[in-house]
């Protein structure tokens, strides 16, 4: 896995053929075919202190065709390999959902739930060290929207490169991030910003846009749309690596929002095999914090039982092990409150850009 670029066509096909070869070689020796992959259990996922992200450990498991379930998985892997090769040759792509339906024609290899097909796609990523994007598989979810003085070059359907400035060439809804943001599809062309701000809710994104915060603070605004899609995390990682821009994350004060931050900064368990590719270790959490609820006297809601459980889980999550997070989470439990970013509107529509963000940003060393 490289964080530089996705794999070239031939590399992807070679990697997939590697999976097929393992099966073929076993059979030639008269043994049942096998597929070796890392154990995808919680026990085999560790927090890599050096890289600062989640990673799979060294434990592997071997699927062989001696049980019906495993035999089906191997059969499916062969069908998927064929399907992906076809897509690559025909310059097509498919949603994970479409692949699930396409398996209708795979006889005993038919998937019984979307979960099965999603997991197998992830297995193949792990084994081949390729990305889902290399396989031409895409999710249903929408990518982020970006507004700010950054210019991307995107390859369109006809194979032409289009140059799009996310401030001057787009409408109010901004630049829509495509599902594939690898260099073969998207180039980071030009920028005139000091940092990137990721924003949880559409309402707050639109507020910052209307208030011209991107120009005033010289930043690119990224609407995360809740738990950010892979392409959203990846494009932020690229802006951080290629342009050297800090990423700051502005969310609700809520245990689920903290997870959004953690997935941006340290990776998520589900995508542990590509953490170093998606996670931006240098990302900084800006707010809303429990401190903010108190010092800005924000309108807040009581924590639910689920919220409290999630906060407890976070207290023992290595991603939240540093002193600052422990303090904030414990304070939140103490006051029993959570708050939305839009609660800042209590002080009017400009408070967030005139007062809150300048104060918070200067506290982490970003002035403008």
Q: Which of 263, 268, 238 is nearest to 249 (CA)?
A: 263
Eight-class DSSP state of 200? S
The residue (of 102 and 331) whose beta carbon lies closer to a second copy is 102
Gap between the Cα atoms of 189 and 170, Å rounded: 16
For residue 27, give both structure tokens.
């059979």
For residue 111, give both structure tokens.
């998937």
Instruction: Give the residue, chosen from 98, 182, 216, 241, that forms a contact with a second copy under the rule CB under 8 A.
Output: 98
Q: Cα-flanking dihedrals φ and ψ of residue 151, to 5°? A: -115, 125
The per-type count for the chain, helices as H runs and strands as E runs, is 14, 17
The span of 61-69, 133-141, 240-248, 310-318 binding a second copy (CB under 8 A) equals: 133-141
Residue 164 found at the interface with a second copy (CB under 8 A): yes
Residue 105 found at the interface with a second copy (CB under 8 A): yes
The residue (of 18 and 105) whose beta carbon lies closer to a second copy is 105
Q: Which of 229, 231, 224, 233 is nearest to 202 (CA)?
A: 224
Instruction: Give the residue, chosen from 44, 70, 149, 342, that forms a contact with a second copy under the rule CB under 8 A.
Output: 342
Gap between the Cα atoms of 277 and 230, Å rounded: 10
Residue 23 found at the interface with a second copy (CB under 8 A): no
Instruction: Give the residue, chosen from 116, 141, 194, 291, that forms a contact with a second copy under the rule CB under 8 A.
Output: 141
The residue (of 201 and 280) whose beta carbon lies closer to a second copy is 201
In 129-281, which ranges are E strands?
A: 137-138, 145-147, 150-155, 161-165, 175-176, 186-191, 195-199, 219-223, 247-250
Residue 92 found at the interface with a second copy (CB under 8 A): yes
What is the closest distance, in whole angstroms, from the C-beta atom of residue 228 to a second copy in the complex?
15
Fill in the per-residue mask, 237 to 276: x = in contact with a second copy (CB under 8 A), - = not in contact.
Answer: ----------------------------------------
What is the closest distance, in whole angstroms, from the C-beta atom of residue 26 to a second copy in the complex?
31
Question: Which three-class secondary structure state does DSSP give residue 207?
Answer: helix
Gap between the Cα atoms of 237 and 247, Å rounded: 9
Gap between the Cα atoms of 128 and 341, Å rounded: 41
What is the closest distance, in whole angstroms, from the C-beta atom of residue 336 to a second copy in the complex?
19
Number of residues that bind a second copy (CB under 8 A): 53
Residue 104 found at the interface with a second copy (CB under 8 A): yes
The residue (of 40 and 136) whose beta carbon lies closer to a second copy is 136
Q: What is the dihedral of CA 342, 173, 260, 247, to 10 degrees?
A: -100
Gap between the Cα atoms of 108 and 103, Å rounded: 9
The span of 23-31, 52-60, 164-172, 359-367 binding a second copy (CB under 8 A) equals: 164-172
Residue 176 found at the interface with a second copy (CB under 8 A): yes
Residue 163 found at the interface with a second copy (CB under 8 A): no
Give catalytic residue positions.
Answer: 101
- List of residues contacting a second copy (CB under 8 A): 87, 92-95, 97-99, 101-102, 104-105, 138, 140-143, 145, 152, 154, 156-157, 162, 164, 169-179, 201-203, 206-207, 209-210, 212, 225, 299, 340, 342-346, 348-349
């Amino acid at each position: 896995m490289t964080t530089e670029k996705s794999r070239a066509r031939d590399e992807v096909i070679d990697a997939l053929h590697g999976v097929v070869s393992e099966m073929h070689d076993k059979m030639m020796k008269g043994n049942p075919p096998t597929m070796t992959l890392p154990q995808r259990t919680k026990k085999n996922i560790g927090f890599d202190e050096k890289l600062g992200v989640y990673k799979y450990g060294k434990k592997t498991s071997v699927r062989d065709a001696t049980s019906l379930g495993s035999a089906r998985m191997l059969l499916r892997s062969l069908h998927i390999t064929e399907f992906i090769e076809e897509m690559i040759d025909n310059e097509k792509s498919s949603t994970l959902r479409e692949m699930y339906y396409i398996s209708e024609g795979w006889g005993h290899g038919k998937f019984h739930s979307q979960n099965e097909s999603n997991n197998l796609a992830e297995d193949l990523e792990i084994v081949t060290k390729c990305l889902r994007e290399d396989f031409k598989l895409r999710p249903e979810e929408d990518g982020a929207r970006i507004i700010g003085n950054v210019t991307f070059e995107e390859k369109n359907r006809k194979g032409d490169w289009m140059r799009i400035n996310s401030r001057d060439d787009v409408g109010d809804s901004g630049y829509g991030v495509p599902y594939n943001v690898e260099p073969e599809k998207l180039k980071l062309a030009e920028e005139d910003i000091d940092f990137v701000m990721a924003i949880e809710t559409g309402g707050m994104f639109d507020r910052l846009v209307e208030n011209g915060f991107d120009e005033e603070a010289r930043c690119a605004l990224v609407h995360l749309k809740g738990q950010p899609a892979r392409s959203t995390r990846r494009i932020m990682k690229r802006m951080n690596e290629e342009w050297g821009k800090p990423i700051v994350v502005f969310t609700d004060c809520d245990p689920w929002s903290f997870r959004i931050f953690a997935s941006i900064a340290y990776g998520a368990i589900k995508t542990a095999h590509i953490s170093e590719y998606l996670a931006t270790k240098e990302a900084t959490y800006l707010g809303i914090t429990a401190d903010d609820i108190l010092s800005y006297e924000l309108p807040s809601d009581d924590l639910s039982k689920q919220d409290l459980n999630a906060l407890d889980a976070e207290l023992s999550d290595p991603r939240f092990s540093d002193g600052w997070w422990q303090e904030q989470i414990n304070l939140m439990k103490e006051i029993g409150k959570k708050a939305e970013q839009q609660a800042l509107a209590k002080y009017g529509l400009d408070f967030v850009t005139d007062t809150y963000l300048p104060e918070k940003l200067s506290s982490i060393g970003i002035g403008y």
